Structure 1
Amino acid sequence: MAARTGLFTAPVPGTPPVGSSPLDGRRVLGALYGTAFQVLSGGGIAQSSSSMAFTVGQTVWGIPDPTDSAAVFLSPSDAVTITPAQGPSTGSRKDIIQVKQNDYGNNDPDSRMQVVLKAGAAGGSPTAPTPDAGYQLFATITVPTNATNAAACTITPATSSTLLLPTLQAPTFQQLSLITTSQPFQQAVVTADPNPLLVGPYYWTGTAWRFQGPRLAYFTTLIGGLVDGSQVSAGSVTEVPVSEVGDDFATISGSDIKLAPGIYSADWEVALGAGATGRSYVTFAWADAPNTPLKRTNIAVGEDQGGVTMSGFAVSGSPRSLRGLVYKNNGQTTNVTGTWTITKLR
């Protein structure tokens, strides 16, 4: 593999210039801005009400280099007016606006930016044509029957007008949390946090980094001096101090856990701390329906329950509180401790 010296460096006398070629520049731009087709600025389309003229305003494009997957062209274009044919007498038609950055070094006839129209065929259920080789689809124009001006047509953009930055990487969540961005849904990855629960993909909400996929919340519970023969809720609830606690979907509500609408997997690990001398059980249910358990585990007589884990699913279309309940019968009034692990699946 040939060694490269980076952009804008002086070549060693007697050697070819390395690191300042156009391809090297496009690779650096690809690393900075990503290699997806995108509109970096501009991209507006004006539709005439007196003719079939569509004017694509001054734009800066990000266009993949077809010869190198790590490279991207950043290409400005002046305002361009394109004029499709009027609407067909029957049916409708779909035309497309396609764009390409020519590059003489890639065997194109010149190195100019192209913003051009490709017409489709009329029909009762028309389909848009496929962009020509090397071109990117920018927008689809639906031309209705007998349309005589651009304002009567419908424009469907094919690409976001927001700059799509490449995925950020941070070794730990603490380091990621020091980064802010103005780009909604900016992607990031934590690669090696000491807490394995924090390793994985994140996105920017506009105010904070949020873990993608299933999201976790942790809570501890304590029932102090439980009296035998009584069914008691989970008592005091506290958050476990890790970054995913509560997130924005699970919060403490008295002795319950209030959940936002969604689909959840809930685990409650409960330690009774003594063998049962009579009928005992632990259960969890919706707080507004405590006698209809989502999950229940019976404790056998004489069984030492140092820790029993109940796992179940909870589904709700509106905010609702989850409640843990314990019925203990062992002749003692020891504390009952527990840990909630709640996963939001959707």
Structure 2
Amino acid sequence: MYVAVKGGERAIDNAHAWLADERRGDRDVAELSVAQIREQLSLAVNRVMAEGSLYDPDLAALAIKQSRGDLIEAIFLIRAYRTTLPRFGASKPIETGEMACDRRISATFKDAPGGQVLGPTFDYTHRLLDFKLAADGEVPEAAEGTPQGGDVPHITGYLNREGLIQDEPESDETPPDLTREPMELPAGRPLRLQSLTRGDEGFVLGMAYSTQRGYARNHAFVGELRIGAVAVEMDIPELGFAIEIGEITVTECETVNQFKGSKTEPPQFTRGYGLVFGQTERKAISMALVDRALRWKELGEDDQGAPAQDEEFVLMHSDNIQATGFLEHIKLPHYVDFQSELELVRKLRREVEAARSSVLSDGLAPDEAAE
């Protein structure tokens, strides 16, 4: 905390009070409740949960309210709170093949096994402002759709029956935890996926878009995008078996990408993968595209020098909390640093002026002296 400025603590207290007043806004307008944010700004809540690495819609909504809608600040609040929570165990891997899908689409098969479920999406809206919402009019309730549940196999599994898509190796090894250990490079795919899940949506989207424009030469199809609820199970040693401890909503995306083959692998499709808390499909698709771009080395492909293929560039710059902290610290007092820079510039200017005066005293024009 910088308190070197005269009256610093009092100024900071006043800034906090002013912030609280600005957060509340016009007292004639009803105050937003956490429940309203959670229910009506759910996509913002989902982003905060995903990039904050904590699945709790109520806390995410509270963070959005506290941050005045600044989602990166809200993510910061959630991550900070997360560090105070005790860790009492680990859940089993979720089974997305048993997801109760609110939305399940494929861009690769018209008649997808199990059917296409459009679900709640902006994809088919006209992107025109709805002024009925400004009039606070009641929106007619939509007919409730029944989530597609039970055994909902992944569409890429049907490609795998013909050996047309690369097998993903399974491992019982516990992956490293990015929230508990600093990331080291080179990073394995599990660590890369964790980093992309927590990464800034805009940054990951930009990297994904670059792959579509030709950087990394890696055209992809959305094999499947699914959104829905999955059970979270945990092994209880005293019982000797796993029990369901809750349910979360996630978005999962698998992309299908061309692969020309290598010395050891025949031509086939490969996958990109994305999994994110909540309904966060733009992030999940972006994540899958960048995941596939980062796999160039393990697949024996050529390095095209594309930004999305550069592991260090992508992973070390995608975290918006680290980026924000480093960027915003420069607005805090740096008086000593600046004074040294200021004195250096003044010294250089004096030396230049002295050299110019010396040239003029010798009766030479500055251009002649330069020659």
TM over 0.5: no
Q: TM-score range by the shorter chain?
A: under 0.3
Higher relative contact order (CA 8 A, sep 6+): 2
Decide which structure has greater helix share: 2
| TM-score, scaled to structure 1 | 0.26
Decide which structure has greater strand share: 1
